[in-house]
Structure 1
Amino acid sequence: MPEAIASSRNMRATGEPWLGDIPIDWELMPAKRLFREISIKNHPDETLLSATQEYGVVPRDILPDRVVMPTGNLESFKLVTSGDFVISLRSFQGGIEYSEYRGLVSPAYTVIRPTKKINRRFFAYLMKSYPFILDLNKAITGIRDGKNISYKEFEKLILPIPPRAEQDGIVAFLDERLADIDRYIAAKQRLIELLNEQKAAIINRAVTRGLDPDAPLKESGIEWLGEIPVEWKMKKIGYIAKVGNGSTPNRSETQYWSDGTFPWLNSSSVNQGIITLADQFVTQKALVECHLPIVEPNSVLVAITGQGKTRGTAALVTFETTINQHIAYISLNSETISSEYLFALLRGLYSHLRYISDGHGGTRGALTCDDLKKLKIPVPPINQQKKILLQINQTTAQVDKAITETDREIELMQELRTALIAEAVTGKLDVSNQR
C-alpha cells in the first residue's frame, strides 16, 4: 500500500467521518455549490444511454449484455451531455456515474452538472470511491431495491476540493496506476479462463472416453461425440430423468416473498458448482399459486438463458428448492447413472451445450427443456462412473487449487485498487511523491 501522507503534509480535521483529515490547502464545499441539477427533456432522437456501475454512463448498444430497450415516447427522458454526472437507482451501491457521451437517460435518474471549473474526472473518481458511497447511503430515501437519492439530498453532501493542479495530478496518477492494476487483473482472469478450459478438457475426456486408453470402442451414433467404449450406452436425458424449469413470482406481491422460507434459486446459483445454500426464499403461497416446481435434492441444474458464460453451466443442488425460469432442473428417475456423474458429464459437455443454445452456430442464445430432454449422453456402467469421478477429482484438484490462488490474487488487487482511489481522492496519499 502506498505510504500515507499525514506525517509529511499539514492536515486538518473536516468533521466529516467519511472524509477524516484532509490537506490544509484543500477546501470543503457543499455539493450544491459545485453541481446543479439538469432536467432537459424533449430530445427523443438522441442516443439511449445506460448508467452502469462498471462502465459509467454509456450507449446501451455497446454494452456486452443485452439491455431491455424502452419503447414508446422518449420525450420524458433526460438529456445528458459529456461531462455530466448521473445519480441512478443503484448509486447507493456503486456511486454516482460519469458520462463522456451525449444522450438520454431514464426520467427516474437525476442529472447533475458542475458549475465551477474543476477536473470532472477527479470528481468521477471521488464519487465512485468507497468512503463517498458510505456517506451517500446516509442520504438515502426509499426501499432497499432501487433506493432513490434526490438532488436535495445530494446537495447537502460536503465534498473535498483540492487545488486544481492537484486534481489534475491525482487523475493522472490514478489513470496510470489503475491501468497497471487492470492489466494485471485481466491477465489473471485470462489465466483462470485457461485453467477452466484445462479442467473442462480433463472432464470431457474422462466422461466421453473413459479411463482405459486400450478399451475397445464403438460408434456412438453422435457426430460430435464419435466413438465410446463398447460397454457404454447412449441414452436421452428425457428417458432417464424429469426435466423442467421454474418461474419468478411477482416481486410486487409481498405475499410471495415476505418471510418466505422455501429456497428459490436464480441462474447465478449455478456458478457455485455444488450448491449448498440459497440466499432468496419464497412463501408456500408462491409455490402453490405460481406453480413453482419442487426440485429434489441431488438434482442437476443447468442455466438455460443469458449472454454471459453462465448459460450452459451445470450445477448440483444438495437441498430441496425451487428455481426461476432461467434454470432447468434434471431429476433422475433411473439408477443407471448417478447425479454426481451426470453433473460431471454436463460440466464436461459445456461447449456442446453452448453450441446447442446458439442454434448450432446461430444467435438464438438459449437452451430449452426440450433440448435437454433430447440430448443423448454416454452412460458407463455404475462401477466405472465411480472410478471416473474419483479420477476427475484427483486430476482436477491441482487445477482447482491454482484457480483458487489466482482468484485470491485478483481479490487482493481489487482491494488495492479500491484503497488506492480512496486514499488519493481524500488526500491521504500524496501523489506527487508516488509518480
Structure 2
Amino acid sequence: MKTVINPEKEMKDTGIEWVGLIPKNWYIRPLYACLDEINQKNSPIVTMNILSLTNTDGVIPYSERGNQGNKSKENLEDYKVVYPNTIVANSMNILIGSVGLSKYEGCVSPVYYVYSAKSQIDIRYMNYLFQTEPFQKRLRQFANGILEIRLRVSSHDILHQKVAVPDYDEQQVIADYLDETCSQINEIIEEVKASIDEYKELKQAVIFEAVTKGLDKNVEMKESTIENLESIPSNWEIRRIATLYEESKETGREDLPILMVSINTGISEGEVGDDDRIRKVVRSEDKSVYKVVHRNDLAYNMMRAWQGGFGAAQVEGLVSPAYVVARPKCELDSRYVEALLRTPIFTEKIRGLSYGVADFRLRLYWTYFKNLRICFPPLEEQRQIADFITAESKKLDALIHEKLELVVELEAYKKSLIYEVVTGKRRVV
C-alpha cells in the first residue's frame, strides 16, 4: 500500500481549523458519536493486571516499566477496567500524546480515561487520530491546571471534539496502512537509537581507557591499589582528593555569571538562562550567597555527584551554594579529574560515599569526597589526556547528534503522515 495526495477538487472545507480540508465523501462527527467511555470500576476485583501508559510505548503492563513511573496503589478497587482494543488516555498527559491502544485486559489509574469503539468505527483509526499533534493542540484550549505538567482535559471536552471520519471500510484500510508503515518507521528508529547507544558506549570506553591507562599503548603497567581498577601506568600515582584539592567557600560577586554543573556536559561556560535552571529551584538575586569558581576549579552538585555531576571550570563564575567547590592545591588539570570521576567505576565509588535515604536524596559531602583515592598521571600527561578526550568526544558527539537529528526527522515524518492520512489529505491506494 502507498498514499497519494487527494486533489483539492475532491476536498471540502470542514470549517475546523485543525482539520482543514477533507474528502467530500467523509463526515464530521463529534467523538461521542464514535466512542463510548468505559467507567467500569475494578470492584469487586476483575483483574490484578495493572497497566501503565507512556507516550513512547503506549499501554504496557506496569511490571514492564521497572522503577519508572508513579508507584501503583495497593487498593485496585478504585482502578478502571481496561479490555483489549480500547483506547486509554491520561487526563493530565493527553496533551503530549499520552494515549494508547490496549492489547491487554487489566486495570488503570482512575485518572485515566478508557474508550471503546461504537458500531462502524475502527478503534485503531481513532487511536491514530488521538496521536496527531493538531488534535492535541486543539485539546490544550480546554485544559485546566495551575502547572503545565498538571494540565487536565475533561473527558466531556474530549468527547465533544469534532473529527473527520470516513466510511468503516476506509477506516480499516487507513488503520492497516498506518499499522504497517508506522511499524516500519519504528523499526528504523530503533535501529538508529541502537547505533546511538553504541556510539555512547564507544565514547565511554575511549574515555575510560584514556583516564586509566593513558595514551601510550606500550606503556609499562603496575598493579593498582584501587578496587576494580587492576592496573595503571607505572609512572602514575594513587592520590587522595584531599592531597590535590581543598574545599573553597569563597562567596560571590555581582560581576560574575551564574554557571551550572550538568551530569551530561560538565560546567557551563556562560551565564545560565532562566530556561536552563532546574525547575523548583528558586534563584536568589543576591549573588553574594553563590560560590565563586575560578578557572580549573572542580565543582560538583552534591545531589548529582553519584550520577557524574562534576565540572572543571573553564571560566570564572558563580555556582549554587548547594554545590561544593574544590580548588587545586598543586599543579593539575581538573579536566582530567572530571573525566575520571564520570567513569562508571568512580561514579559507583562516589555513590558509596554519598549519604541519603533514597537515590534522589543522596548527597556527597566534602568530608567523604576528600578521602576518595584516584589514579593521577603527571601534569603534562593529564593535559594530553584531557585534550585527547575533548577531541574524540567532539567527533563522537557530532555522530550522535547526527543520529539524534535523524530520529527527530523520522518521528516528525511519522506524525505528519498520520495526520495527513487520518484527515484524508493523503489517500491510501
TM range (shorter): 0.7 to 0.9
Taking the aligned partners of 2:3 and 2:125, their CA distance within structure 1 comes to 20
Q: Contact 1:314–1:346 (CA<8 Å) still a contact in 2?
A: no
In structure 2, the CA distance between the partners of 1:225 and 1:15, relative to structure 1 (3 Å rule), is same
Alignment TM-score, normalising by the size of structure 1: 0.77
Alignment of 1:332 with 2:331, yes or no, is no
Which of 61, 64, 71 does residue 62 from structure 1 map onto?
64
Alignment of 1:224 with 2:228, yes or no, is yes
Q: Counterparts in 2 of 1:158-237, with a 5 A limit?
A: 158-237=162-241
Alignment of 1:25 with 2:25, yes or no, is yes
Q: Contact 2:132–2:415 (CA<8 Å) still a contact in 1?
A: yes
Taking the aligned partners of 1:43 and 1:273, their CA distance within structure 2 comes to 53
Aligned counterpart, 1:135: 138
Q: Contact 2:306–2:348 (CA<8 Å) still a contact in 1?
A: yes
Q: Which runs of 5+ in 2 are unaligned?
A: 248-256, 353-357
Aligned counterpart, 2:253: none
Residue aligned with 1:127, SS = helix
Residue aligned with 1:66, SS = coil
Aligned counterpart, 2:379: 382
The one-letter amino acid of 2:87's match is F
Q: Counterparts in 2 of 1:339-350, with a 5 A limit?
A: 339-347=334-342, 349-350=343-344
Taking the aligned partners of 2:95 and 2:201, their CA distance within structure 1 comes to 37
- Kindly state the Cα deviation for residue 101 of structure 1 after the two structures are TM-superposed: 1.9
Taking the aligned partners of 1:302 and 1:182, their CA distance within structure 2 comes to 37
Aligned counterpart, 1:393: 390
- Kindly state the Cα deviation for residue 60 of structure 1 after the two structures are TM-superposed: 0.7
Q: C-alpha offsets along residues 368-391 of structure 1, whole Å, 9 cap, x if unaligned? A: 738866643211233321122112
Q: Counterparts in 2 of 1:32-431, with a 5 A limit?
A: 32-41=32-41, 42-44=43-45, 45-88=47-90, 89-143=92-146, 144-237=148-241, 240=244, 269-273=262-266, 275=268, 277=272, 278-280=276-278, 282-283=281-282, 299-301=298-300, 312-316=307-311, 320-322=318-320, 331-336=325-330, 337-347=332-342, 349-350=343-344, 353=347, 369=364, 375-431=372-428
Q: C-alpha offsets along residues 284-329 of structure 1, whole Å, 9 cap, x if unaligned? A: 6899xxxx99695764547978xxxx974455376644499xxxx6
The one-letter amino acid of 2:264's match is N
In structure 2, the CA distance between the partners of 1:175 and 1:285, relative to structure 1 (3 Å rule), is same
Q: C-alpha offsets along residues 201-237 of structure 1, whole Å, 9 cap, x if unaligned? A: 2222221122334544432213532332343221244
Q: Which runs of 5+ in 1 are unaligned?
A: 244-260, 359-363
Paired residues, number:
394
In structure 2, the CA distance between the partners of 1:381 and 1:133, relative to structure 1 (3 Å rule), is same
In structure 2, the CA distance between the partners of 1:424 and 1:394, relative to structure 1 (3 Å rule), is same
18-27 vs 272-281, which deviates more? 272-281
Taking the aligned partners of 1:416 and 1:315, their CA distance within structure 2 comes to 38
Q: Contact 1:27–1:162 (CA<8 Å) still a contact in 2?
A: yes
Taking the aligned partners of 2:93 and 2:302, their CA distance within structure 1 comes to 26
The one-letter amino acid of 1:391's match is F
Alignment TM-score, normalising by the size of structure 2: 0.78
In structure 2, the CA distance between the partners of 1:323 and 1:178, relative to structure 1 (3 Å rule), is farther
Taking the aligned partners of 1:184 and 1:238, their CA distance within structure 2 comes to 49
Taking the aligned partners of 2:89 and 2:399, their CA distance within structure 1 comes to 40
Residue aligned with 2:426, SS = coil
- Kindly state the Cα deviation for residue 121 of structure 1 after the two structures are TM-superposed: 1.0
Q: Contact 1:95–1:127 (CA<8 Å) still a contact in 2?
A: no
The one-letter amino acid of 2:99's match is I
The one-letter amino acid of 2:398's match is K
Taking the aligned partners of 1:116 and 1:407, their CA distance within structure 2 comes to 42
The one-letter amino acid of 2:397's match is D
Using the aligned pairs only, state the percent identity.
27
Aligned counterpart, 1:256: none
Q: Counterparts in 2 of 1:1-12, with a 5 A limit?
A: 5-7=5-7, 10-12=10-12
Q: C-alpha offsets along residues 157-205 of structure 1, whole Å, 9 cap, x if unaligned? A: 0011112122111122112222222222222222222222222222222
Q: Contact 2:36–2:115 (CA<8 Å) still a contact in 1?
A: yes
Q: CA RMSD in A?
A: 3.7
Taking the aligned partners of 2:22 and 2:88, their CA distance within structure 1 comes to 26
In structure 2, the CA distance between the partners of 1:194 and 1:103, relative to structure 1 (3 Å rule), is same
The one-letter amino acid of 1:130's match is E
